[in-house]
Amino acid sequence: MFEKKYKNAMDRVIPNQEALDNAINNAISKPKSIKNPVKIVLIACLSVSLICTSVFAAFKLSENENPPANLTIPNATQNNNLDDSIDDTKDIASSLSEQGFKYAENYEEIYESLKNANNFFYDGTIGDAEVEEPMEDEYTAPGSTDESPAAPEFSNTNNQVLGVQEGDVVKTDGLYIYHLSKSQDKVCIISAKDGITNIVSEITLPSVNNSMFVFELLLIKNTLVIIGETNSYPNDTVCMYYDLTDRSKPVKADETTQSGDYKDCRVVDGLVYTISQKYSYVYSENDNEDYTYTDIIPEINGELIGCEDLLISDVLSNSFTVITAYDTANKEQKSSLALLGECGTIYCSTENIYLVSNSNIYANNEPYSENEISVYESSINSKILRVSLNQGDITANGAACINGSINNQFSLDEKNGLLRVAATLYPVTYTYNGDFSSAKHEDSYSKVYSLDAELKIIGESEPLGVTETIKSVRYLGDIAYVVTFRQTDPLYAIDLTNPESPKTLSELKIKGFSTYMQSYGPDYMLGIGYEATLEGATNGIKLTMFDISNPADIFDVSTESFLWYDGYGYIHTEALNNHKAVLIDHKKGIIGIPFATETPINTNDWYYEYKQAIEYKLFNFDGKELTVGKSIEIPLKDGAEYWYGNEMRSLYIGDYLYVVLDSGLVSINLSDYSIVDTENY
Amino acid sequence: MAKRLLRNRTETEEILLRHSDTVYKIAYLRTGNKHDAEDIMQEVFLRFVKYSPDFTNSEHEKAWFIRTTINRTNSFFTSAWKRRVVPLDEAIKTYDEMSYSEVLDAVMQLPKDISTAIHLYYYEDMTVKEISETMNKSESAIKSLLFRGRKLLKLSLEDTYR
């Protein structure tokens, strides 16, 4: 077995003892003084900002007990003198400059910033921000039939926001299924009628010759968008636009490229927004090197992005977040924007894209001094940049700084132009004495913030789940459901009807925790997550149906658990952290979730042999009990890797369910669960 | 700006020793020989002492070391020093005959991103999510790297694989 052999071989790769001892000794005894002039400047800036914030603190009269959530950048916020911060190359919204954003004046500025970033070198991120798939916060809307009047009702990708399409490996318009098979390096277009399927055409992808990775599809009327990434330096994100007028002969109509690894995409009103992340390394030891700007500045379709579309911030970074807008109606790239800054989480409403930074910035709140030792109460902050979609003319028009770190895209929600954000705070007190500081980490806790149209924080909930961290969030109307966890799972219902004073309506404590939640009709909410012991150790997977008809009194109606090492060796579902794997339709009474299992069959001292299987489960909920209605074992192709490369999805068209694996699909009659047809590629 | 934490010699040594194996293995995988791996390990240790970052937990601490090693091997490849023409005998990967392994050799022949993802997944037992955070790529990209890696390995290890 590969794993065993690789482990054995790697176990023998160890450093020579003498070399290791030398390396440690050299590191420890090297003088610690900072010679790099940039560091001296940074420390000077820190001292200056210390002085400014202490001066500010002295003048501040009214205090609430919560630490101010905005990163205190001296000068910009405290004087109401915005002229200081308006960049003369381009007008900029005041909240943007308050948060330290400005447009680049020239590429040289970018080069210097990248060099500083590399010298300073960020440590690893805390790692909370993660791109998750979005889901609607109302009932899953059946697909629209405006394109094909003859198509029966069908399910869409499980998008977070109604009207905002997300990418996925499977798409349907009720007549055809479009499936990206990563293992086969092709997209199959399959006709589907009454459960009978036929492969109508195939698009062979460039990934077949190992030059690309292909990730997902978008479907906009008669256009199929295939999104991938070249896998040799410099990595570019590629969008291929196919014309589907004749499904049996799809024709590539256009192709766009932008620098960077593919990050995410959205479609709103026929406009495709593609987001990528480009890393640029500039090393001061290479000062004699000839760096051309094409090495470091992002390109759109082969052309360097202009400074008027290039935002720089006061946070050092060696990566760019690049956004482009493509108009499928007029078949043209409409606008683009790049930010010198890493993006952790992306949330998109019908009006705006919000980019949330990775949380590695520390806020200086109210520092105070005792005997020349300064003490800072700090926490991790996340910066939020709002980019208005503007029908494809994307513009950065606001920024905010939130005390805390964001779990995933479901932590954000925009309603009536106001943004709500749920974050976990990690307060820490640093005692600063010259060069070094010692840290005292306090209990973590979470909050839900309301921000106004200018992205100023206007309301905060009370601290939630002290000592815990957020595991999942779902906004349904004006109620925010927040799950925090360390040992037990409090599920909070926070009322945001009055954004200026969020109110905790109820708190439900149960074992385990949900990593994903979706509404099931107006009265219920399904939580998918982990079972855990009373001590907080996870020991399986569970689905819980919550009664949310009265948010002031939420309770768990019924739970279906699948414990590890109890019947199953190990069971997993992609639904735990990918909402696109979940099919929920309250009106049709469908709850469909794919599971992957691993059962040991031949154990001895050395290793387990195990049987891998895929089971697709349809759950029933009658208002009282959540039960497995039907469990369908999906046959695996010989030797198929079932964990990855076999991203499972399901969708329905009329009365037929289609369970899609990477290497084929199966159609099932929903009335008797019989298998009607299969396709294997 | 991340704060630097005061650590005494014992604490620092302890932390460096804790992660020396992890760092060395990844450096070896990505540079292909033990001399460069030792150089990278030294660089990573120096950076740890210089920046002395604060960590919220042990996962964060390990992730820092892994990420720094990956970053240092990136700069290693693109620095002017490395780009100069290297004579053939210096460039040959040196293997200790006793520890030669077909499987390891096959992994080391893979593109760097792919071999790193494979190593983090199979050897460090990290989840796709953890690997995506460490390597700064989307989970989709990591899955592709793993899938592509397995496919390529299968080709080069036809008899020894499974």
**Residue A381 confidence (pLDDT):** 83
**CB-based contact B2 A122, cutoff 8 Å:** yes
A209 touches chain B (CB under 8 A): no
Reported as a single tens digit per residue, the pLDDT across A405-459 is 898 999 999 999 999 999 999 888 777 766 566 778 888 999 999 999 999 999 9
B125 or A439, which is more confident? B125
**Residue A284 confidence (pLDDT):** 58
Q: How confident is the model at residue B116 (pLDDT cuts 50, 70, 90)?
A: very high
Q: Is the dihedral of CA A286, A287, A291, A293 positive or negative?
A: positive
Which segment of A20-34, A338-352, A395-409, B49-63 scores lowest on mean pLDDT?
Answer: A20-34
Measure CB to CB from residue B47 to each of A121, A213, A578 and give the nearest one.
A121
Q: How confident is the model at residue A207 (pLDDT cuts 50, 70, 90)?
A: confident
Show the beta-strand stretches assigned E in A352-417: 352-357, 361-362, 365-370, 373-378, 380-388, 395-403, 412-415
Q: How confident is the model at residue A363 (pLDDT cuts 50, 70, 90)?
A: very low
Is residue A210 predicted with pLDDT exceeding 60? Answer: yes
Measure CB to CB from residue B146 to each of A46, A441, A644 and give the nearest one.
A644
Which segment of A365-379, A420-434, B112-126 scores lowest on mean pLDDT?
Answer: A365-379
**Residue B100 confidence (pLDDT):** 66
B137 touches chain A (CB under 8 A): yes
**CB-based contact A5 B80, cutoff 8 Å:** no
Q: What is the mean pLDDT of residues A626-653?
A: 74
Mean residue pLDDT of chain A comes to 81
**CB-based contact B157 A279, cutoff 8 Å:** no
Which segment of A51-60, A93-102, A311-320, A465-474 scores lowest on mean pLDDT?
Answer: A51-60
Kindly provide the ipTM of the predicted complex, given to two decimals: 0.87
User: Distance between CA atoms of A140 and A583, rounded to whole angstroms?
Assistant: 9
Q: How far is A5 from chain B (nearest CA, A)?
A: 7
* Residue that has been written with the tokens 């396709």 in this structure: A679
* Residue that has been written with the tokens 């009207």 in this structure: A163
The residue in chain A having the minimum alpha-carbon distance to the alpha carbon of residue B45 is: A27
**Residue B60 confidence (pLDDT):** 82
Cα dihedral A32, A38, A43, A48, rounded to 10, equals 160
Q: How far is B90 from chain A (nearest CA, A)?
A: 19
User: Distance between CA atoms of A252 and A257, rounded to whole angstroms?
Assistant: 14
**Residues whose CB falls within 8 Å of the CB of residue B135, separated by 6 or more in sequence, listed in order:** B67, B70, B113, B116, B117, B120, B142
**Residue A472 confidence (pLDDT):** 96
Q: Report the predicted TM-score, pTM, of the whole model to 2 decimal places.
A: 0.79
Q: How confident is the model at residue A655 (pLDDT cuts 50, 70, 90)?
A: very high
Contact between residue A450 and residue A499 where contact means Cβ atoms under 8 Å apart: yes
Q: Which chain A residues are within 8 Å of B2, Cβ to Cβ?
A: 122-123, 360, 362
Is residue A542 predicted with pLDDT exceeding 90? Answer: yes
Reported as a single tens digit per residue, the pLDDT across A104-128 is 999 988 988 887 776 654 332 222 2
Q: Which chain A residues are within 8 Å of B124, Cβ to Cβ?
A: none
Cα B7 to chain centroid, rounded: 25
Q: How far is A644 from chain B (nearest CA, A)?
A: 6
Residue A293 is encoded by which pair of tokens?
Answer: 């700007």
**CB-based contact B133 A130, cutoff 8 Å:** yes
Residue A206 is encoded by which pair of tokens?
Answer: 């460039």
**Residue A285 confidence (pLDDT):** 53
Portion 467-526 of A in contact with B at CB < 8 A:
none
A366 or B11, which is more confident? B11
Q: Which chain A residues are within 8 Å of B75, Cβ to Cβ?
A: 118, 281, 283
**CB-based contact A263 B51, cutoff 8 Å:** no
User: Distance between CA atoms of A258 and A278, rounded to whole angstroms?
Assistant: 9
**Residue A140 confidence (pLDDT):** 35
